[in-house]
Homo-oligomer: A and B are copies of this chain.
Amino acid sequence: MNLILLNSNDHWIDAQRVRLSDRRAEHIRKVLRSQQGDTLRLGMLGGQLGTGRIEAIDAQAVLITVQLVDPPPARHRFDLVLALPRPKMLRRILRAVAEFGVGSLHLVQTARVDKSYWQSPLLADAKVDEALRMGLERSRDTIIPQVHRHRLFRPFIEDRLPAICQGRPCWIAHQDADVGLSAVAGQPAVVMIGPEGGFVPFELTLAEQMGAQKVHLGGRILSVDTAVATVLAQTL
């Protein structure tokens, strides 16, 4: 936790003072080992970054005076369309997506996605939110990625993808592409990443008909979590 993330539902004493008594208070006490008078890095969820001065601290709570002055870091150049991953992987993919400051993540059904994944408790709003916040806390960001769920591939591609791209190129990761994503990563784009086993030919063709263009990620088959980080790492 490199940033204490505050939100408007916290226990605000007044406009500048907040009282924390949850895992953040525990982190301040046990990991940071902060004391009265110490300064912390803070951010307001959806808002600015800044610092906080510890006014009081005990075993129950931490009282902090907050000063928020800096804008959050820039959004990532890429938005992602991702075949819904195995629940076990989802959590750390969400964390990575937040670490990189992605604006929007679209989770979609594809032929090789097991439909039972949509029933996973890890896909509940609260769990998604928790995983994303872990990423924000890691990378000192305050803007939570927007996560959209699309349970039907075809209507998503035909009806939604053009509006999502808004004139940006749409790249679809595919091992056999002639061009590498690294060669075209200079401009904002939407990048599509398939499931384990990849997109089926019908899905690839449909996406290409709607304007998506194939790019490779170096020619090796990568796990989905590795592929997500590889895509997002291209804009360094």
Contact = CB atoms under 8 A, between A and B. Distances in A.
Nearest to A95: B223
Task: Say which size band chain A's interface belongs to.
Answer: 20 to 34
A226 interface: yes
A208 interface: no
A101 interface: yes
Interface centre among A73, A181, A220, A223 (most CB of B within 10 A): A220
Contacts of A67: none
Contacts of A226: 95-96, 99-100, 229
One complex includes copies of this chain to the number of 2
Given A226-B99, A226-B229, A229-B226, A2 B235 contact: no
B221 A230 contact: no
A236 B236 contact: no
Contacts of A234: 233, 236
- Most B Cβ at <10 Å: residue of A73, A140, A218: A218
B236 A182 contact: yes
**Residue from A99, A218, A229 having most chain B Cβ neighbours under 10 A:** A229
Given A217-B233, A234-B236, 18 more contacts: A2-B221, A73-B220, A96-B226, A99-B220, A99-B222, A100-B226, A135-B223, A138-B222, A138-B223, A139-B221, A139-B222, A140-B220, A140-B221, A182-B236, A218-B235, A225-B229, A230-B232, A230-B233
16 contacts: A73-B220, A92-B225, A95-B226, A135-B223, A138-B221, A139-B222, A141-B220, A180-B236, A217-B233, A217-B236, A218-B233, A226-B229, A229-B229, A229-B233, A230-B236, A233-B234
Interface of A: 2, 73, 92, 95-96, 99-101, 135, 138-141, 180-182, 217-223, 225-226, 229-230, 232-236
